[in-house]
Structure 1
Amino acid sequence: MQPQDEVLPRDVTVPVAVAPLMWQGVRAALPIVLGYLPLGFAYGVLAREAGFNLWETVLMSVLLYAGSGQFIAVSMFGSGVAAAAIIFTVFLVNLRHLLFSASLVPHLRRFRPAALALLAAEITDETFAVAINHYSDHEAHLPYHFGLNLTAHFSWVLASLLGGLAGNLMGDPARFGFNFALPAMFIILLVLQLKDKQTLVVAALAALFSVVIALLWPGSWNIILATVIAATLGVILEPWTGKF
């Protein structure tokens, strides 16, 4: 294991070689930041409207750090839903992170459990997509991953703070297009993944299955089930997709 792949105590000088890798991760996070700033701002406004104070709004972004989960949580809270139901719903929505973690294992298995725990706490749809795309043709390094994760997380917390400060002054976020920030960011990440026919087929299958499952089985399971089914079919169809 290289020195830059270690989790270093605070009193240990960070090797110079770490800086370029971390800066590379910071740069890779910039497209995510552009999406997180308006989205996090909208979350902050909605959280204040739902009855959260400023510090509760920011603390949720620090600890939970799950855009879709946070939007669902504040919406349910504002509707008077019981805490147990909110927690269970957010848990179901975030189950997809199990798939993300499993996909990263082949690239990160050589690192210490403490480092992996820190990385796991910072996984989001967007940072996962950027990382897995980077690791398809680069060796995994902790400084890169921490640079990516911390930059994205900081921007989300900052945007949540700014949105929380704006409070009820903004009114309906949809008037400013904030309701489209999340879909737009996912579209960008999807385009970055479409490198060959196989990924195009898997993406199309995932979209199809997600819509069908959502119509037949309302809830948050459509994303998880569609991902598993599409990925499985992608592996099965790989010999054929490679011929076209």
Structure 2
Amino acid sequence: MQQSQSPPPARGTLWNKALSQTLPITLGYVPVGMAYGVLAGKAGLSAVNVLLMSVLVYAGSAQLVAVGLFAAGASGAAIVATTVAVNLRHVLFSAAMAPLLSGWRKRELAAFAFELTDESFALHAARFGRGDRGKELTLSINVLAQASWVAGTALGVALGDVLGDGRAFALDFALPGMFLALLAGQVGSRSQVAAAVVGAGLSLAACGLGITGFGALAAGLAGAGCGLGVEKWMTRRHL
């Protein structure tokens, strides 16, 4: 039996609610987007191409990696292959989200998938877990998140000469700080703590060994497996 869905909220209320939920992401995206805009401009990309990359690609880590490879003179094939490896974690995102979006139409799924990022995935996973699966709110959150990334990119392009390479402003800390804020709101049970600790620990270890794309994917799978194992163990204890 399908659960009845409440009518969609009024447009103004919808965007206000989306904005309040997207605020932690926005606070991270604007400064990191600025850093990307600065670095891309200094790598030799035109302002139009820098902005188009944020509009059409919209993948922060992939964009930063691509800019670094472009500045180093890497070939197009090398840039594509490397960014695909960096974004392999999206395989995990799709596996987690697919059962929760089974009733969506294909064009809605396409719009959702295009704007899904690490941060919006974390936000939606927490929302869906609470039963908050409103389609319009979900898509509105994604739109606002990308708008903040594009706005940050535009600021970086406009203020590139003033910001230098952006390191003096500690912009590289904004994204990890935002992830920690999102994680803190989701970790509530022992299984979630175990998944977070194991996944983070293995990811840091892989990073220290120079394994980034595949390392993050393996760490995520191991963390999820550990969390599942703890959950099953706790369930058996209470039987």
Structure 1 residues 240, 79: closer, same or farther in 2, change over 3 A? same
Q: Write out per-residue CA displacement over residues 36-87 of structure 1, whole angstroms, 9 at most, x where no aligned residue.
A: 1111011101110000111001000001101111111111111111111011
SS at match of 2:129: coil
Relative to structure 2, which stretch is displaced further, 152-161 or 217-226? 217-226
Aligned to 2:216: 223
Change (3 A) 1:75 1:233: same
> How far apart in 2 are the matches of 1:16 and 1:239?
37
Aligned to 1:83: 76
Structure 1 match to 2:155: 162
Conserved in 1, the CA contact under 8 Å of 2:24 and 2:182? no
Q: Which residue of 1 aligns with 2:9?
A: 17
Unmatched runs of 5 consecutive residues or more in structure 2? none
**Counterparts in 2 of 1:121-200, with a 5 A limit?**
121-200=114-193
- Count of residues in Structure 1 that have an aligned counterpart in Structure 2: 235
- Contact residue 35 and residue 156 of structure 2 kept, 8 A: yes
Paired residue for 2:36?
43
Q: Alpha-carbon deviation of 1:240?
A: 3.0
Aligned residue type for 2:20: R
Name 2:101's counterpart in structure 1: 108
Summarize the Cα distance change of 1:192–1:48 in structure 2 as closer, same or farther, 3 Å threshold.
same
* 1:92-126 deviation per Cα after TM superposition (whole angstroms, max 9, x unaligned): 11111121121112221111111001100000000
State the Cα deviation string for residues 156-196 of structure 1 (Å, max 9, x = none).
01110111112333213111111211111111111122111
CA change 1:132–1:233 in 2 (3 A) is same
Q: Deviations over 1:209-237 (max 9, x none)?
A: 22333445624211100111111121122
Distance 2:143 2:234 in 1: 37
TM-score by length of 1: 0.88
CA RMSD, 1 decimal: 2.4
Give the percent of matched residue pairs that are identical in Structure 1 and Structure 2.
Answer: 38
Q: Give, in whole Å, the separation in 1 of the partners of 2:132 and 2:182.
A: 20
Shift of 1:21: 4.2
Contact map agreement 1:24 1:147 (CA 8 A) in 2: no
1:29 equivalent to 2:19? Answer no
SS at match of 2:63: helix
What is the TM-score when the length of structure 2 is the normalising length?
Answer: 0.90
